[in-house]
A and B are shown apart, each in its own frame.
Chain A
Amino acid sequence: MSQRQLAMVINLDKCIGCQTCTVACSTHRLNHPGTEMLRYIWCETKPGEGWPKGWMELGRKVPDRVRDYGGTWNFNWEEVYTSPVGAKYLHPVTKETGEPPKWGPIWEEDQGGGEWPNGYFFYMPRLCNHCTDAPCIAVCQDHFAKGGGMPSSQGNGHKNSLHKREEDGIVVIDPSSCDECGLCAAECPYKIPMENIVAGTYEMCDFCAGRVENNYAPVCAKSCPARGMYFGYLDDKESFVAKLVNEYKVALPLRPDYNTGPNVYYIPPFIRPTSFAAGNKPTNQADIPVDLLRKYFGPGLDQAMVTLKEHRARAARGEHSELMDLLIIYKWSDAFTPFNVLAPVDPIEQGVEAGKQGGEAGKGHQS
């Protein structure tokens, strides 16, 4: 266990599946070779198999590059723009198979479950859980102990590629010492680490460790247009994450039965339309079966739903609810204390404290 632990809370009662987190991450973090189909964060539609395909059922398997991830997609823009109109149309082909893709990161968008008129779905962004008892680290350590891995060029003194940072609990991969053994991907029940075959390493979300070091919030969370993401230290009692996770206990780990101690927490979708009986007669039952939510979020689900609904009823009666205010987030930056949600203006030299000026952009201003 690290000295401190950073956590992210994602409010699924707000997540609209827009993938702004996904794309912000891609724009900021996935610009090096081999990242075309890599994701550090992505948003799944639930219920569904997810990405990699059927990850909850994969056990200790390393997901298959084509079958489970969907392979690398190529498109034929050039051919379309230089052929007679109508002759060639733009479509994806999987590089590995030469065939149209059969799966991908966001394949099941808005499909969901149930039967008309009682169909339903909700969205669930997924990223590394930065687990307290991360099985990926244990297996990596073991691998190195058995003579695996490569010498690190990072000079960080770690004996294995994966480690959990003492100061904030972020789980990071040191790519220079990763030998792509794949054991982390096999051990991770959430199937988060992904292989970059070009760079020759496994990769995954590091909570934007470089931004965090400079006091800036992770780019996915700070950019959430539905305002459903939070970030902060769990031991900071005033932080929104601590209140939601520890005080009100409405933010729950995903699949707690995996026993890895995830530090990404989800507020379950608790405001839902009801399902219908014959003739479209409305019932009192929410459309999502509670068993499904219980499967995802474990035994804490029932009390969390009661708390959330009770506080909403309070607010509807005109009474104050701190919990509802935490979900509203009147001031966006409050959800990230002590981190900065502003976009940095000045470049930061490595090893130099945040806020130091430099370069032409130093003339810029934060308003």
Chain B
Amino acid sequence: MSKRKDEENPAANQTAAEANQKYWQWDKCRWGTHRVNCYPGSCPFRVYAQDGKVIREEISCTYPEFSDPDYKVPDYNPRGCQKGYQHSKAMYGPDRLLYPMKRAGERGSGKWERISWEQAYDEIAVKLVDIIQKYGPQAISDDHGTNGAGVLRGGGEGASTGFVSRLGGVSSDLNFLIGDFNPGQYLTFGQFQHAPGIETWFLADTVIALSNPAYGNIPDIHYILEARYRGAKVVAIAPDKNATAQFADMWLPVNWSADPALWLGVCKILIDKGWVDLEFMKEQTDLPVLVRMDDQRFLRAADLTEGADGEQHFAINSATGKPEPLPKGTLAMPFDYALEGKWKVTLKDKKQIEVTTVYELLKKRIAEYTPEKVHEISGIHPDQLAQLAELVKPPRKVFVFVNWNAGKLYHGDLLERSYCYMLALTGNVGKAGTGSRGWSAGAEYIGGAAVVGGMPNEVLETGDPLLHAMNMSQKIPEDYKTYFKMDPTMPPVEASLGALREGLRMGGTLSPPVWLWYHHAGYKEVWDKFLDDPNAPKKISQYAEESLANGWWKGFVHPDKDVCPKGLLVSGSNPLRRHRGGMNTYLKTFWPKLELIVVLDPRWSTTGLYADYVLPAASFYEYADAKYSTPATRFSTFTDQTVEMLGESRSDRQITLALLKRIQEHLQKRGVEKYKSDEREIVVKELYWRATFGGRYGEENADEERLVNDTYNALGKMGWFESLDGEELTLANLRKNGKAWLSGRPAWHATVVQNADIVPGNVFWPFRDQLEQKVPYATTTRRMELYLDHPWFIEADEHLVRYKQPPNIGGAQPLRLTSGHLRWSVHSNWVVSYEMLKLHRGEPFAFINDTVAKQKGIADHDYIHVYNDYGSFITRAKLSSCTRPDQLVIYHAWEPYQYPNWMPYDGLLPGPPKGLHFAGGYRHYEYTLWNWAPSQSDRQTNIDFEKAQLQA
């Protein structure tokens, strides 16, 4: 009667009904979250296990309601997304690594041998010691990444960072490895780590979406969607009509890199109609600051008087018509600043010159951006431009939503600076529901910095080294300001970032990755060859060399030009996927130089498949840790050990500790007691002792748990975190509540850069100090800086924003490739999990315009060959009328091994940084961790495509 009865395999007959009966059976329910480096994350799940196996997870919906007396906003529930919701399956998936593996043939032969941990540790340690002895410690590099973003991993930076830096090796700045930077916001605000609470998006009257939160911000976008029901308008600006644009009141199909023209056009309307906030412009921005008309630089006291302050700027007192010094320590106005006019001043050499205000220059600059001109450049009709201007007219509160596109777009700095102009003219900074956002993390990073940087011996010898280190860190910015710079007027953010910069410069080998790419991975030649920018005064290599010659990157050029990397430790990262040109230049040029490649990962990545050793790192439900907090949600979420670590996997901290122990033994066996990396002396007998905080936190699981307990306990004692129930913050408390509340304001790094207090239960937004307390910004003029007086920017005519035609990157092909985060993965985490693969077509695809496809004879799901002068790849075509005719959209983080021949789209991205971003030398034109460095650009690389003949 029924074909159902499978007598031989009764298990197959298990039905939904029986599954339902088992649904309520579990023997363990613990907290869990996913320490992938998604932003802000903070998704509290409950994880269920039966008989030592995770059976499922569920979003806990346990976020408390806001208790802000002034603002009513929706709660955070339910935070989570489809990716976290299938980790219980993915963790047992076919890409999971369970045992230490060593390649059993040539690199990339696909032949692997399972080895013991002892063998792995020993062989790797010997090879690393060989490298240290033969080439020096800086021949060891790490590439850390997104799979280990836990507090104990050294503050999200991956255990390999701490490991490599302890050895005196080179650690790359993660933010510039991935290019998550807001260059234009950085140049405007002197920092990029400001991040309003996602709940404040709800309070805006106009939300301008420049990124695609429907893909990249799944648990957050509801605040934008819900703002519309308050009456707010949503505007999407994007070359294609992406998923987010579908929810907007207005979509502006802007031409390539034409956003600056659009915003300058809006600014012109705002000024012409008087829709500006004059008080804000005078008080908060550099618009009243005087500029010399002879060399276009700011007028400085040192120009007027020999030996005077080179950082003292001027404005005209509108009552007297005379230039007067602007106060450096406050934004409060001692006199009324003139915004308009030209004046004569006499320099110290008696020469008389003309000076004017930034505002005058800005007005002159935007005069050419008439609606007709804007239409011609950007494709945006004057009617829409006028509508947009209406939507940002004061007193409307305007929030510009961005992720980190701009850091990956060649002229992304101009794009960002241009909307910052609008924010400056309309006073949309420092109030709830205004501004824009960068990236930031919570106070755990102070714990993390201590872990990574290493603490002095005397700290390790105290009773509570974590608390001691946190306490000590509080003095650092003050010392920097008072003793190092001797500038009592210095604002806290400048002191914090400056202290970090000097600390790193003197004591570490952390560097932005640009120098590794440039000197050792073949990109110097690639960038010069495949960037054709007729509007740039110099080639990239000229900018780079000049900046080196000027000493602008002193202390941050690692590995040195003459030290060739030989050992690479990859932790939770996937550099062959991630670097632009990863499977092209990076693999061809950099990989063969390496004598040892070790990958720590819970899963088989493409990089792992090209490595010498692959070490199985345990995953999120297998040991206790927490996902770092961020100002965006202000919670740290806890993830517990629900099951034993799978197979023989171990935590990345345990792995690197064990390795360090072996390295110490081998160095000692060879009679090495100490060695140097730059000026830093590495004492061999202390390596393991220091890494375990004076022997406190070893390699046992119990040590991991104690470290969580002690870290949060110390953070709680410092007042930087609070428990949800007022009890002492401990591991037990985290186990109870699943999360802890970020609060207060540490003096060093991370949350101080918010320029506002974090009060649990209240909504949060940055730059309140500036608006409410008149605390200066961390820029050259200590004001929101619309005018850049760096000689390079003046030379490139980018001292003020203008529209610049985008360069040809990759060749002169007629189409543009764009990208963004895939919906179905967090970087390459989970990208090949069965559950995720079933949510699309099971393999990489690119969106192309349906009409263009027909012209080219391409049908939906055909393979296409995409190419430029630098490289090519093959993928499936997906036809859409929402894709621009001259565009191909391929979202990122597919594994290269998902593409035919393993050549991903990154293979045709030469990734040239913008030469101007090598600028340095003074004030905020200086690198520090996560702030101001060149990153690879990939958006709008030139391409063409054709139908490909390929049988799967």
Contacts and interface: CB of A to CB of B under 8 A. Distances in A.
Interface of A: 13-14, 16-20, 22-24, 26-29, 31-34, 36-37, 73, 75, 77-78, 80-87, 89-93, 100-102, 104-107, 109-122, 150, 154, 173-176, 179-180, 196-201, 203, 209-211, 214, 219, 222-228, 269, 271-274, 276, 279-282, 312-313, 315-318, 324-325, 327-333, 341-350, 359-361, 364-367
Give chain A's interface secondary structure class: loop
A210 B20 contact: yes
A23 B19 contact: no
B441 to A, nearest CB: 22
A350 B384 CA distance: 61
B75 A330 contact: yes
Contacts of B218: 16, 18, 20, 225-226
Contacts of B902: 85-86, 89
Interface residues of B, number: 132
> Counting chain A CB atoms within 10 Å of each CB, which of B12, B379, B387, B861 scores highest?
B12
Contacts of B381: 276, 279-282
Give chain B's interface secondary structure class: loop
Contacts of A227: 74, 78, 222, 225-226
A80 B849 CA distance: 32
Contacts of A342: 60-62
Nearest to B247: A271
30 contacts: A27-B86, A32-B14, A32-B16, A77-B94, A78-B94, A85-B108, A89-B898, A90-B843, A104-B841, A107-B841, A109-B840, A115-B851, A116-B881, A119-B241, A120-B882, A179-B2, A180-B2, A201-B15, A223-B80, A225-B79, A225-B218, A225-B221, A226-B218, A269-B246, A272-B246, A328-B230, A341-B78, A343-B46, A347-B26, A361-B27
A271 B251 CA distance: 12
Given A23-B839, A106-B840, A280-B384, 6 more contacts: A16-B243, A26-B835, A33-B13, A86-B901, A90-B895, A225-B221
Contacts of B95: 77, 81
A213 to B, nearest CB: 10
Interface stretch (B50-58, B117-125, B522-530, B939-947): B50-58
A86 to B, nearest CB: 4
Contact of A28 (B28, B58, B248): B58
B80 A210 contact: no
B4 A179 contact: yes
B881 A361 contact: no
Contacts of B58: 24, 28, 219, 223, 343-344
Nearest to B244: A16
> Counting chain A CB atoms within 10 Å of each CB, which of B81, B248, B895 scores highest?
B81
Given A83-B110, A85-B610, A16 B78 contact: no
A29 B237 CA distance: 39
A115 B736 CA distance: 54
A276 B14 CA distance: 55
A102 B234 CA distance: 37
Given A116-B885, A280-B253, A110 B243 contact: yes
A110 B847 contact: yes
Contacts of B724: 367
Given A150-B2, A273-B248, A367-B738, A29 B19 contact: yes
A345 B46 contact: yes
Contacts of A20: 80-82, 85, 218
A27 B56 contact: yes
A17 to B, nearest CB: 7
Given A28-B23, A121-B246, A201-B4, A360 B28 contact: yes
B50 to A, nearest CB: 9
Contacts of A121: 246, 882
Nearest to A43: B839
Nearest to A176: B17
A38 B388 CA distance: 46
Nearest to B379: A280
Nearest to B382: A281
B254 to A, nearest CB: 10
